[in-house]
Structure 1
Amino acid sequence: MPAATTMAHVSKAKMLLYRQSQAIAFAEELKALSVGAALHRGNRLVGLNAYLDNDGVLRTRGRLHSIDTAKDAIILAPEYRITNLIVRSFHEKYHHLAHEMAINDIKASFYISRLRELYKSCSSQTTPDGTDSEGENRNLPDTVYLHRHRLFWPVIGERRQAQGEEMHFEIAHSLDTSSCIMCLSNFMALRGTPKEIFSDNGTNFSATEKAVREELKNIEHDKITITFDGIKWRFNPPGAPHMGGAWERLVRATKGILKNICTNYSFNDEGLRNALMEAQFIINSRPLTFVSLDTEDDAALTPNHLLLGSANGYKPLPKEGMNLHRRWIETQCFGDRFWQRWIKEYAPVLTRRTKWFEKVPPITIGSIVVIVDELLPRNLWLKGRVIETMMAKDGQVRRVTIKT
């Protein structure tokens, strides 16, 4: 009876394939490195700080090697079959969507020259219509007025946290208040208690908000006591769905992913949750910063870096013999480096605008306005008079009260 295949067998098989491919593509480099010689100045790998690991696999030593945050990338040539299969596997992992996410994930494990060119060729091979299906998952939402909660979470003690527009899904079995409360409770059990919640004016949200106020923070539901303490709930103005654009845009991207993953699929509860978790992982793997193919550059930051510690959830084991104090020091170094990158690479992106470059005079009390109602023809839209304005910190009016 044949022995069962284990992860150790799979790992050895992968290393064998890597070595075979590298033996053909980098014969000269392997010969030099195997005897401890340096690569000559004009060699194509001279800038990669290449070395042979314990398995005889050619890798490039990155700048994060000293703090042991991940394994060094394996060097592969783009023209070989094994490289093509690896890239195609990542393409399929992300369901032929979210190309920048897939490229960022590949870059975390492999160094492949002309990666974008190779990925594009794989994309045309596997996408049904042969076109670029990247869509809009790659880009961050355009904003005119950036709310502070889009950038930072609270600072607790010495622990610094940053918010990167992560997605978390909970399945509500109905649209009543009870289901909304249970979804919020489930979220808190996994992610912690939020300080502030932003939502539209759905009736279930309004009723739940009343339930989580300070005087009603202990709720009896199905003989379970749920505690909501100190949560502030902020509602977007009615008739202003664009103020929820930061999350609505990601919901739209999620629907696109589900459509591609499960075309014409009839879900049960278990299947729907699994599909949502898959979509959630893909959305949270999206790069928040530019995906560079330079081996000296770090992988792009993603929401999963905040949730899981890395884009793909990989967490390296500590080195053998490393004591807890040394491990703690390395963790602090990693945290400091991540924070520096967050401020340097991600924060400036949020300040850029693609439209509305010039300020306009703010709307004033007494102005006559037309109220857009997408459910009615334009000639039936109501007119109204502004009776109250609320000015933002930048001097712009974005909320008004209208009398019709």
Structure 2
Amino acid sequence: MGGLWEAGVNSFKTLFYKSTATRKYTFEELSTLLAKIEACLNSRPLAPMSEDPTDLLALTPGHFLVGGPLLVTVEPEIKGASTLIINRWQHLKALHQQFRLRWKEEYLKEPHKRTKWQVPTRNLDVGELVIIKDDNLPSNEWRLGRIDSVFPGPDGHVRVVNIRTARGIVKRTP
């Protein structure tokens, strides 16, 4: 069980080093950046809050820390390379956004690692809570949905699902 936490720490350390190794930071800048990244990491969904198929809320590490989901103000995305930004605050915001995009990408791919099919895996079921990739969300928000219907292929494995979200029904391939 400890391997899961260690993998998370390793993922953070690798991404953090790649993001911050090219520049020196003051204590205040580094602590601000770490606080923003911490909020991003502690907002990831762990499990559904309930078995109710209409409930789209997920339990996060933030629930254990503050008793509820972590809230953050939405900031406009900074375009362009962070090395060209002169203002240090904007540079920190750009670093945070780069870290968030890369970490969310890695986190979403982690459960779906492709391994050799030596043992059969479980099909998706109706009512399961899933994460939907959406790059246009703020750093602490995740687009969640519940599987509404499944469409198995000729081999019996689920190939397409309809997902119920807060915005409506979305059709995706698993």
Q: TM-score normalised to the size of structure 1?
A: 0.16
**Higher relative CO (CA 8 A, sep ≥ 6), structure 1 or 2?**
2
| Rg comparison, structure with higher value | 1
